[in-house]
Amino acid sequence: MGSAPETKKLTQEQRIAMVQEKKRRTQRLYLTLSIIGILVFLLIWEIASDAGFVNSRYLAAPSTIFKLFITKLTDPNPDGAVLGVNILASLQVSLTGFFLAIIVGIPLGLLMGWYGGFESFVRPIFELVRPIPPVSWIPLTIVWLGIGLPAKAFIVFFSAFVPCVINAYTGIKQTSPVLINFAKTCGASNFTIFWKVGIPSSLTMVFAGVRVALGNAWATLVAAEMLAASSGLGYMILMGRQFARPDLILLGIVVIGIIGVTFTAILGRVENRVLGWKK
């Protein structure tokens, strides 16, 4: 053992640090590539518009959109609200729906996956509701809830709710039987096993579900704001269509995109926190 190579002498901590450093380096490389990708895309777009390949009535150049972005920060025209108000209105709708979906959907899925009786009780209704497109609830929602925040949030809720339930359900169903048996031999009650083994092992799937739910929530936003609204990003896009202002439409799309990316990043942070043991 005297002439063991240098790597053998590393402690567990140093070894982990080494692997992580390598990982970070790859991540930095990928980040740079992503940024270059976006820049190249914008550049081609800008050149295409400026050179007149595309009629500016159909497609606005990125620089025009950026200028409009600056104007819209303070100017409520032409849709009636400044950008900040639109963003806040949209956030309110999508986040209300999204968090409701998480709060209701994940526990429902977990309970369904763990307790057979509860599953038999709830599953048929869930299976019936599941394939209905969230947008088809709009007319009924207007009758029930009018056109305010609750109505719009309800539509968003539906689109985010289904993936939460399905992933929580599947995740907890996949709990390793060995771990369940181990907890049983420790004398744990069924609820303790559910809490301490089932839920933690379902979290990977749950987070995947939340990710899908977040995407769905954003995607249904425009549909929800078509219900009727006086502000909101979806509303702004709609107005852009009415005034034949592609720059306004594109600004709405871009802002929705950027906020979506931001949320995904925040979610990624939370996931890293909770599932940090995987690193």
Partner 1 sequence: MSEQFVHDPEYKVEVRNLTKNFGELKVLNDISFNIKKGEFICVVGPTGCGKTTFLNLLTRIIQPSAGDLYIDGEPADPTKHNLAFVFQEPSAIPWKTVEENLRFGLEIKKLPEDEIKSRVENIIRLLGLEEFRNSYPHQLSMSTAQRVIIGRGFAMSPDLLLMDEPYSQMDIKLRFYLEDEVIRLWKELGSTVVFITHNIEEATYLAERILILSNKPTTIKEEVHVDLPHPRDVTSPDFIKIRKYVTDQIKWW
Where on the chain is the footprint of partner 1 (CB under 8 A)? 11-13, 16, 176, 178-179, 181-189, 192, 196-197, 200-201, 203, 275, 277-278
> Whose CA is closest to 278, among 7, 14, 79, 16?
16
Compare residues 122 and 188 and give the one whose CB is closer to partner 1. Answer: 188
User: How far is it, in rounded angstroms, from Cα 279 to Cα 204?
Assistant: 13
Compare residues 92 and 204 and give the one whose CB is closer to partner 1. Answer: 204
Compare residues 56 and 190 and give the one whose CB is closer to partner 1. Answer: 190
CB of 187 to partner 1, least distance (A): 4
CB of 19 to partner 1, least distance (A): 9
Query: Other C-beta atoms within 10 Å of 108: how many?
Result: 18
Query: Other C-beta atoms within 10 Å of 168: how many?
Result: 28
User: How far is it, in rounded angstroms, from Cα 37 to Cα 44?
Assistant: 11
Compare residues 11 and 55 and give the one whose CB is closer to partner 1. Answer: 11
In contact, 151 and 145? CB cutoff 8 Å: yes
The amino acid that residue 264 corresponds to is T
Compare residues 45 and 195 and give the one whose CB is closer to partner 1. Answer: 195
Compare residues 196 and 211 and give the one whose CB is closer to partner 1. Answer: 196
CB of 111 to partner 1, least distance (A): 21
CB of 276 to partner 1, least distance (A): 9
CB of 13 to partner 1, least distance (A): 8
Compare residues 225 and 271 and give the one whose CB is closer to partner 1. Answer: 271
CB of 168 to partner 1, least distance (A): 16
CB of 226 to partner 1, least distance (A): 43
In contact, 178 and 201? CB cutoff 8 Å: no
